[in-house]
Amino acid sequence: MTGPALTALAPYIVLAGGTTLMLLAVSFVRRGPVTLGMTLAILLGTLGSIGFAAGAGTQHLDRFLLVDGYAHFFTALFVLAAVATAVLTHGYVDRRAAQREEFHILLLTATLGAMTMAAAAHFGAFLLGMEILSISLYAMIAYPDRGRAPLEASIKYLVLSGVASTTILFGMALVYGETGTMAFAQALGSDGSVLLRVGQGMILAGLAFKLSLVPFHMWTPDVYQGAPAPVTGFVATVSKGAVAALLLRYVATTDVLSLESLFFGLSLIAVVSMVAGNVLALLQDNLKRLLAYSSIAHMGYLLIAVLAVASAAGPEMAAETGMVYLVGYFAMTLAAFGVMTVLSADEDVEDLADYEGLFWRRPLLAAVLAAAALSLAGIPLTVGFIAKFYLFAAGVQGSLWLLVWALVIGSAIGVYYYLRIVFSMTRQMETDDESAPSWWGPATVAVLGAAIVVMGVYPTPLIDAAREAIRAFGG
């Protein structure tokens, strides 16, 4: 390995090395604040090293990893999400589990897996990243040992996610058998043989499972509901974001969507996800399940960016759309689950009915949750609007009319249940203010809420960052 290659890998080295240190350290020091401090130090070190690594330019490492601006952009996003998750779990996990130190280690390894997926340029890296992430998640979901729900959720996720992984693996084998290459290249999509199509179809189906797209969405509400709130937030953002980042790069570098049957199939999945996710969310009274169905719809929206790769909009516009969209999605989803986590410090607060009067009891948390809900609904002043605007722009530019219409209809339905959240918080004006038991949780969600509004009002820095990161993307 050369010097620039090592430089480019700096974030991965810092995170992997830091995680190893943590493994050693928790054998000696088992104190919450120390573990949290170390975790944050490692994550912030990783974040800091991105700037250093970017100096090395785009590095293609043995056709295995492609460390470029795109990968760095998502690394930064995943690390920030991990920081938020680490702070939010502090005080949450230790009330529910006998030992809390290992949770932070799992969080770090999951982040490492996600980062690997964002840089993957080869089936090997693809699988490696995905499994590091998934296996960490199984344990994170089941981590609270007081209560059965997390365990149930973890088993469900383990079994179904395992099936998806093997489906992807089988698909990879078929594609490799047909083309003789495992590196992402145009050849993976150009040939129209049946086996190749089946193989690509299996890979896309497995990824659709990880993104919880209809009809592969069955696990989502149960896992969301059973998992501890901060972990649900992590699954909803980092896990799906990593898969989405990989999917975007995969379709941009392999021409797989030039196979019409796959393009059509994915379009169908997108439309059905947008409509079914939103319709099913209407029926929910549990906030976690509601957000689960909402995330199904949102991943359907995201597919517009993926499909725009093979349309007149082109891969760069598609990638830019996907990046802006995911940043917005991360901020609003983490904010929603963050508020839930802060409120659930002692016992789980998940039913919509429990949120009545929150505006008067905990104005800050309610304001953040309202911002998140309105952002998920795509109302201006929030980053959710900018994200949706991008999807509209990409869809219109790529002439994906069916998808744009589904986006309009899905958003229209979605307004209703997001507003239900806001409305229930405004009820029962008589209740008094409650004091906050801790400051770090509310502070974290306040930052997320501010991010939603600031990026919604002045998105230019975000757009510039995304455009800077994807120069020469897909080329």
Q: How far is the CB of 393 from another protein (least distance, A)?
A: 6
CB 100 within 8 A of CB 35: yes
Q: How many of the other CB atoms lie within 10 Å of CB of 451? A: 22
Q: What does the angle CA 249 – CA 336 – CA 421 come to, to the nearest 5 degrees? A: 125
Tell me if 203 sits within 8 A of 76, measured CB to CB: no
Q: In the bound complex, what is the minimum distance in angstroms from residue 426's beta carbon to another protein?
A: 5
Nearer to another protein among residue 38 and residue 324 (C-beta)? 324
CB nearer to another protein: pick between 270 and 370: 370
CB of 407 to another protein, least distance (A): 9
Closer by beta carbon to another protein, 96 or else 420: 420
The residues of the shown chain that bind another protein, judged by CB under 8 A, are 359-360, 374, 379-381, 385, 389, 392-393, 396-397, 404, 408, 411-412, 415-416, 419, 422-423, 426, 429, 458-460, 463-464, 467
Rounded least distance, CB 81 to another protein, Å: 24
Please check whether residue 175 is in contact with residue 199, taking contact to mean a CB–CB distance below 8 angstroms.
Answer: yes
Question: Is-contact 247 119, C-beta < 8 A?
Answer: no
What is the closest distance, in whole angstroms, from the C-beta atom of residue 367 to another protein in the complex? 10
- Nearest to another protein of 122, 388 (CB atom): 388
**Token pair for residue 303?**
């597919």
Gap between the Cα atoms of 196 and 453, Å rounded: 45
Minimum gap (Å) between residue 363 Cβ and another protein: 9
Residues 54 and 72: beta-carbon distance below 8 Å:
yes
The CA-atom distances, in angstroms, between 283 and each of 114, 278, 290 are 32, 9, 8
Whether residue 437 is preceded by a cis peptide bond, meaning omega within 30 degrees of 0, is no
| Helix, strand, coil in percent for the chain, rounding step 5 | 75, 0, 20
Between 47 and 373, CB nearer to another protein: 373
How many whole angstroms separate alpha carbon 118 and alpha carbon 384? Answer: 22
Minimum distance, C-beta of residue 309 to another protein, in the bound complex (Å): 18
Cβ-based nearer residue to another protein, 60 or 427: 427
Q: What are phi and psi of 66, to 5 degrees?
A: -115, 100
Distance CA 287, CA 348 (A): 11
Of 211 and 466, nearer to another protein (C-beta) is 466
